Chains A and B, each alone.
Chain A
């Protein structure tokens, strides 16, 4: 009897351990749940939601640590704002979440909005045709990597009161106002971003201190890098010159002149003139 009880006890303990450690499940959309939000609501912290290709009309609110990623990248998985007055993806009061491989479009607020959240990874997304592309508000220690932000109606990437975030290798282009806007945001690292063709500023730092801007390409904006009321920012190896290809037209005209001379000789030879 005692032996049986002991076996049951150990069995229960082992099953609890197994359940506890293998709790991070993969949830597939639309196989397991029709919408991404349904999957988010049903998921447990640490779960991964894998979204298959398709066009989803949703406003997704994530308020627990989850990984939401597409199976085939941003071209295949497009999320459009069902309500244009809300962000397409909103991450709220979360520590450690990830959004990867989506096209987020059609919101008047933002494609991806990170609100009071830390350690969130945003990578390989395209935030296009929104109010702003990606907004971080009062959020720290997040990583934005390899995203495309633009064209958008206002900012490509907007950090307000957010610190110690890393913006790495993002393409921020053709936004109607500023490419990357740091407002009251300090100790952030902007490395290897391409910030091109934005209507107003490329990178704007307003009341933002001790940020590191390194090896960014900031080309063909109205103003390249603008600092206002910002101190102790480190800037190294950024390129704001309108790039080497700007001399291409001059080279082409020279080639044209040489081509003319060659053609003239050839035609004279052919027609014996």
Chain B
């Protein structure tokens, strides 16, 4: 009943949630374990994203709409990493985090079995 896509998408949303909460906490308290939790879950989420994108291209082929959709998500992730690493526009980090949660909600909704 459950396919690998919905499992990976579910895992991605859980990781994105953990990463988002720990990110907010890490900003409040510098040097806490939240930074590690944020980084670990963030990178795992990125791997889940790449896995799903790859699987989508293998199964459905590469077309303009899927390329644009997955590309937009990737751009949000990379911008988020860049914003945090370079400490530029740092205050918008949480907005990008919210956008990532929304991205994963869309992915989960797309893969929900019917």
A residues lining the B interface (CB < 8 Å): 194, 196-197, 217, 219-220, 243, 245-246, 248-249, 252-253, 255-257, 259-260, 263-264, 267-268, 271, 273
Contact = CB atoms under 8 A, between A and B. Distances in A.
A256 B36 contact: no
Contacts of A196: 114
Contacts of B33: 264, 267-268, 271, 273
B14 A252 contact: yes
Tell me what chain B mostly uses at the interface: helix, strand, loop, or mixed: helix
Given A248-B10, A257-B21, A264 B112 contact: no
Interface in B77-114: 101, 105, 108-109, 112-114
A252 B108 contact: yes
Interface string B9-50: 010011111100110000000001110110001000000000
A264 B13 contact: no
Given A245-B113, A263-B41, A267-B37, 4 more contacts: A217-B114, A248-B10, A259-B18, A260-B22
Contact of B112 (A194, A245, A263, A267): A245
Contacts of A220: 114
Contacts of A219: 114
A249 B109 contact: yes
A194 B113 CA distance: 12
A256 B14 contact: yes
B34 to A, nearest CB: 7
B21 A245 contact: no
Nearest to B34: A264
B114 A243 contact: yes
Given A243-B114, A248-B108, A253-B13, A267 B18 contact: no
B109 A260 contact: no
27 contacts: A197-B114, A217-B114, A243-B112, A243-B114, A245-B114, A248-B10, A248-B108, A248-B112, A249-B108, A252-B10, A253-B101, A255-B14, A255-B17, A256-B13, A256-B15, A256-B21, A257-B17, A257-B21, A260-B21, A260-B37, A263-B18, A263-B41, A264-B33, A264-B37, A267-B37, A268-B33, A271-B36
Q: Chain B CB within 10 Å — which of A196, A263, A271, A273 has the most? A: A263
Contacts, number: 62
B113 A256 contact: no
A273 B18 contact: no
Nearest to A256: B17
Nearest to A245: B112
Contacts of A256: 13-18, 21
Nearest to B15: A256
Top 8 A-B pairs, shortest CB-CB distance: A256-B17, A267-B33, A245-B112, A252-B13, A256-B14, A260-B18, A260-B21, A196-B114
A252 B17 contact: yes
Nearest to A243: B114
B10 to A, nearest CB: 5
Nearest to A271: B33
Nearest to A262: B18
B82 to A, nearest CB: 24
A245 B114 CA distance: 8
A196 B113 CA distance: 11
B103 to A, nearest CB: 12
Contacts of B112: 243, 245-246, 248
Q: Chain A CB within 10 Å — which of B10, B22, B32, B114 has the most? A: B114
A217 B113 CA distance: 13
